[in-house]
Amino acid sequence: PQTFQQQPKNFPPGPRPLPLFGNLLHMDMTNPLKDFEKFAEQYGKIFSLYTGSKPYVFLNSFEVIKEALVTKAKDFSGRPQDCMTNHLTENKGVILADYGPHWKDHRRFALMTLRNFGLGKQSMEERILGEISHLVADLDKNAGGTVNPQNMFHNVASNIIGLVLFGSRFDYKNEFLQHYVQFITEISKILNGPWNVIYDTLPLLRILPLPFKKAFDHVKKLKNMNLSLLNEHKSTRVPGEPRDFIDCYLDELDKRKNDGSTFAEDQLIMYILDLQFAGTDTTSNTLLTAFLYLMNHPEVQAKCQKEIDGVLEGKDHASYEDRHNMPYTLAVIHEVQRVANTVPLSVFHCTTKDTELMGYNIPKGTVIIPNLTTVLKEEGQWKFPHEFNPANFLNEQGQFEKPEAFIPFSTGPRMCLGEGLARMELFLVFVTLLRRFQFVWPDDAGEPDYTPVYGVTLTPKPYRMHIRRRETVK
């Protein structure tokens, strides 16, 4: 990899790096998003920063991100291989796998399997609705009072992806589920945080028992938990009759035994963890953001409820198809995703060869950060870039319309492979809960604080919601 001492000619501009530290002292490592925004204003749509001597190139507009991740997808679809995330585990699953046959094979398998299990089809929908009924029961118990919904939403999201992966759900009080969720949310805060940067910048410190060790411990424990699930599946499966993702992978493994493929049981263990990790914190933090905004924009909540009541009149439950008749509600969900900015810096990419972008040279192995934050509020892309306003997704006739710059799932061949599942989950949870309950910002809660806690995913600060049963639903 290049270092700033050997900076290539014509590299993207940025603040001058200092020896040893690079640009570390130029930013607030507990939440550098504001600093990145400042640099984008100063240096433009593409700039570089160094941690120690290692360069990172930031892409800060829809146009640049599209040019890199879509038009020049082959050059920009790698994953960095020499940083903390990659040292967490030897097996790469799919999120951390570099561009190449292993990644391609595993990604294709996941997309196919998730589809067979009903992404966009009824059976997946039933699984999600089943899980939501447990959430509704929990909220119902608390009606008239206030709750902090954080664990609730984390558990629901974890159970839904769990139903896909290993076919069963855990009770919300189950210790296994609680540990799973806790480890995943903690890892999300450590990666992207200051300790991660220190790990990557100062390799000599890696052997010390510093807080980054916690992420390694958590990954080990999570992998052991997955191993026990895998073993349990192996003893109960009927080959050729898969019940879930694990069974499908084991079937695939049987088929590919002798073809020298990259499919292997230890890859599967990491793969399960990948999907749990990618599917839990993302969806639940988006839901947390949704209810934070809905409580503080009661007119938006009421308008959704009116639309939902009309479309669902006489029906037992919502179905994903109903979204076509709910343009306003759909617009609100998209607007929530836009302001939630749940994965602010996407997952880091890496160049697979020496390449060029917007006239700048970028050598092979350079870490590329698609700064989705800048796109989701980019002036010129949105009618109301800086305020919460569902009109960002509605045309003059009140029909739903999605601007091209809506890329919370990123774009190009590496874009989120759980998008279908996530969108179905968000819609069904959102609509079911709003139909049943009214959510009110508690009188004693003071002014809402919309500033999220930084990590791989952004998390709203803990809040409470007051729950009222709605009388319109039997």
Q: How far is the CB of 316 from ligand HEM (least distance, A)?
A: 25
Q: How far is the CB of 85 from ligand HEM (least distance, A)?
A: 12
Q: How far is the CB of 84 from ligand HEM (least distance, A)?
A: 17
Residue 278 or residue 295: which is nearer to ligand HEM going by CB? 278
At CA 153, angle to CA 394 and CA 120, rounded to 5?
Answer: 55
Which of 13-21, 168-176, 232-240, 341-349 is the region at the interface with ligand HEM (rule: CB under 6 A)? Answer: 341-349
Q: How far is the CB of 1 from ligand HEM (least distance, A)?
A: 19
Q: 161, 276 in Cβ contact below 8 A? A: yes
Q: How far is the CB of 172 from ligand HEM (least distance, A)?
A: 19
Helix (H, G, I), strand (E, B) or coil at 49: strand
Q: How far is the CB of 414 from ligand HEM (least distance, A)?
A: 4
Q: How far is the CB of 401 from ligand HEM (least distance, A)?
A: 20
Which one-letter DSSP state was computed for residue 70?
I
Residue 304 or residue 422: which is nearer to ligand HEM going by CB? 422
| Residue 277 vs residues 162, 175, 261, 274, 381: alpha-carbon distances, Å | 11, 18, 25, 5, 31
Half-sphere exposure for 85 (CA within 13 Å, toward CB): 22
Half-sphere exposure for 442 (CA within 13 Å, toward CB): 12
User: Residue 353: which region, alpha, beta or left (left: phi > 0; alpha: psi -120 to 50)?
Assistant: beta
Options 24, 94, 376, 424; binder of ligand HEM; rule CB under 6 A: 94
Which of 17-25, 227-235, 327-335, 411-419 is the region at the interface with ligand HEM (rule: CB under 6 A)? Answer: 411-419
Tell which residue, 426, 387, 358, has the closest CA to residue 57.
358
Q: Does 371 bind ligand HEM (CB under 6 A)?
A: no
Residue 245 or residue 463: which is nearer to ligand HEM going by CB? 245
Two structure tokens written together for 454: 């930084």
Q: Which of residues 279-298 bind ligand HEM (CB under 6 A)?
A: 279, 282-283, 286
For tokens 């069963």, the residue is: 168
Q: Which of residues 95-114 bind ligand HEM (CB under 6 A)?
A: 95, 107
For tokens 């996941």, the residue is: 110
Question: Exposure pattern of 96-127 as b/e (b: 16+ CB <10 Å)?
Answer: bbebeebbebbbebbeebbeebbbeeeebbeb
Options 111, 136, 391, 415; binder of ligand HEM; rule CB under 6 A: 415
Options 156, 161, 222, 333; binder of ligand HEM; rule CB under 6 A: 161
Q: Which of residues 223-282 bind ligand HEM (CB under 6 A)?
A: 274-275, 278-279, 282
**Which amino acid is located at 178 in the chain?**
Q
Helix (H, G, I), strand (E, B) or coil at 183: helix
Please give the residue whose beta carbon sits closest to ligand HEM in the complex: 418
Residues binding ligand HEM: number (CB under 6 A):
26
Q: Does 343 bind ligand HEM (CB under 6 A)?
A: yes
Binding site for ligand HEM (CB under 6 A): 94-95, 107, 161, 274-275, 278-279, 282-283, 286, 342-343, 346-347, 349, 408-410, 414-418, 421-422
